[in-house]
Amino acid sequence: MLSTLSPFAAAAPTLPNPSHSPPHFSPRLLSHPSYLLLDLCADRREVRLFLPQVVKHGLHREHVFQTKLVALFSRFGDLRDATLVFGSVEDKTEELYHSLLRGHAKHSSLEDAVAFFRAMRRAAVRPAVHSFTYLLKACGDRSDLRRGREIHSQLIASGFGSNVFAMTAVVNMYAKCRRIEEARRMFDRMPERDLVAWNAIVAGYAQNGMTERALEMVIRLQKDGHKPDSITLVSALPACANVGSLKIGKTVHAFAMKAGFDSLVNVSTALVDMYSKRGAIETARLVFDSMRLKNVVSWNSMIDGYGQNGDTEEALRLFKKMMADGIQATDVTIMSALYACGELGDLEEGRHVHELLTRNGFESDVSVLNALITMYSKCKRIDLAEDVFENMPVKSLVSWNAMILGYAQNDRVEDALRLFNKMQWENVKPDSFTMVSVIPALADISVLKQAKWIHGFAIRLCTDKNIYIMTALVDLYAKCGSVRIARRLFDAMEERHVTTWNAMIDGYGTHGFGKSAIDMFEQMKRSL
């Protein structure tokens, strides 16, 4: 650590007024072997490896080396050491301030980054466009709209309201904070727009689920004289999947091939994802197999694609091939593999994946553990699911839901209800998924009093209009013998799935109302 190097540790970090004039240094220092070695550093470990040589030759007192070290430590997230070097510099330039701000924006808390930015303003550091863009990105990544607005207002006050780079960052920030209409207003006010700005608004619409408007903006950017690039395509392809248009997706694919973008990993991966989501899994696999280079996201997209399209056997085979090829699994990989194991009821392979996630350090990842609970539940090892649930350091609502559903699927109705009561005792508010898991469990015991209680609970939660909950309640009342109440609920529903009709028809048939069951079946055929 730099704290052991007295030349840097001796000085406390301060924020005096910076020098606006570049310091004088010998050009030979830029070609010094130590400087060239620092220039080649790819991580903090390499910086520390070469740092003793810099100190040994007294180069740490040279401004060009101090600037380089602040920039490197800031880039690699070593803010403590960057601050120590920064504090040792007597004649601080604005470049030093901006380098350290960039490090804070990327690696510190947003509070620390904004605090340093304010200190810079008090020290009369002249504002720079890139400083605002660093902070706006940090605000967007953390969905901190309040601080984002604050930085936006200071950007305007600093005279960058017409700067294309600054305003593109503003558009990005509002879009990531789910204020897409504000993002669009900022975009429309830009006196000029480059392709990066257009890509920002396309991505903003896509990220906020407004897929048709995202595709509309792709058309508009071409009318504005811009040619889509790989970033445009990576934003547009998910929109094609969400809007449900395979035809548009194929058109984008053709454009990518014509422009030569299909050789890029990010574009090919987006194509795999798009085809998978539209059910064209064979086409997705052709794209995947044709990729000369694949990253872990590519593998994850293909594995998940098979899982979501019902071919869990191939998903598991591809997962094993990925492991055999030495690709490091991510949390997404693990969850896809666990899903496949659960659907196949493959307990042995599920245990192997459990061991893998432990080795890879995911034993505290809540989302991964939730998937593990679901896998063990589907493999009929509810005892192992219980062990995972009870030992979780933190439980989310999804964790409770997964365990309740696991009990219900394994005919442990009393345990499902016990856990349902316990989650409320611990102030965890049930959601619609919780209710859809609990109601079928109650149907197994067919007690009308319990049916009315859970129905009242659904009303208090304001979930009694949810089609899935209402369908479950229709089925519950029918199984409790209260066919008339089931029919009243059925008639009150504004929307019905085929499952809703089936529940009502089955209720009539089970309780000897054959004619009513036939009449309802005929009515269903006319309605669906």
Tokens of 356: 């893998």
In a domain, 515, yes or no: yes
Last residue of a domain, one of 103, 126, 149: 126
308 occurs within a structural domain: no
pLDDT band at 365 (very low <50, low <70, confident <90, very high): very high
The answer to whether position 423 is within a domain reads no
pLDDT digits (tens, 9 = 90+) for 286-298: 999 999 999 999 9
Confidence of residue 5 (pLDDT cuts 50, 70, 90): very low
Rg (CA), the chain: 30
136 contact partners, CB below 8 Å, separation of at least 6: 148, 151, 152, 155, 169, 170, 172, 173
Last residue of a domain, one of 69, 97, 126: 126
Q: What pLDDT shows up at residue 289?
A: 96
- For residue 61, give both structure tokens: 């007192």
Give the pLDDT confidence score for residue 231 in this predicted structure: 92
- At residue 1, the pLDDT reads 45
The contacts of residue 194 (CB under 8 Å, 6+ apart) are: 164, 168, 226
If you average pLDDT over residues 344-366, what whole number do you get? 95
The DSSP letter of residue 125 is P
pTM here is 0.75
Write down the pLDDT at residue 3: 44
Q: How many CA atoms lie within 13 A of 391 on its CB side?
A: 11
For 44-89, the pLDDT digits (tens) are 788 777 778 777 666 667 767 778 888 888 888 888 888 888 888 7
Residue 457 belongs to some domain of the structure: yes
Report the pLDDT averaged over residues 8-15: 42
- φ and ψ at residue 93, rounded to 5 degrees: -95, 165
Residue-wise pLDDT for 242-283, tens only, equals 766 688 888 889 988 988 898 899 999 999 999 999 899 999
**Cα–Cα distance, 290 to 298 (Å, whole number):** 12
CA angle 53/55/59 to nearest 5° reads 95
121-147: b or e for each residue (b if 16 or more CB lie within 10 Å)?
A: eeeebebbeebbbbbbbbbbeeebbeb
Which domain, by its residues, includes 515? 435-528
Q: d(Cα 180, Cα 167) in Å, to the nearest integer?
A: 14
Mean pLDDT, all residues of the chain: 87
Q: Which two tokens stand for residue 40?
A: 């080649």
Reported in sequence order, the residue ranges of 353-502 that DSSP labels E, i.e. its strands, are none
pLDDT at position 463 = 79
Kindly state whether residue 67 falls inside one of the protein's structural domains. Answer: yes
Alpha carbon distance 463, 352 (integer Å): 39
Q: Which letter, b or e, does each residue of 504-518 get, where b requires 16 or more Cβ atoms within 10 Å of its Cβ?
A: bbbbbbebebeebbe
Q: Is residue 131 part of a domain?
A: no
% pLDDT > 70, the chain: 91
In a domain, 223, yes or no: no
Cβ neighbours around 497 below 10 Å, total: 14
The CA distance from 300 to 371, in Å, is 15
pLDDT score, position 23: 53
Annotate 436-456 with three-state secondary structure: HHHHHHHHHHCCHHHHHHHHH
Let me know: does 287 contact 251? Beta carbons within 8 Å: no
Mean pLDDT of 355-379: 95
Last residue of a domain, one of 126, 160, 179: 126
Q: What is the DSSP letter of 484?
A: H
Q: Is residue 442 over pLDDT 90? A: no
Would you say residue 460 lies in a domain? yes
Distance, in Å, from the CA atom of 72 to the CA atom of 247, rounded to the nearest integer, reads 47
Contact 284, 305 (CB under 8 A): yes
- The larger pLDDT score, comparing residue 121 to residue 301, is at 301
Domain count, the chain: 2
- Alpha-helical regions (H) of 291-363: 296-308, 312-324, 331-344, 347-359
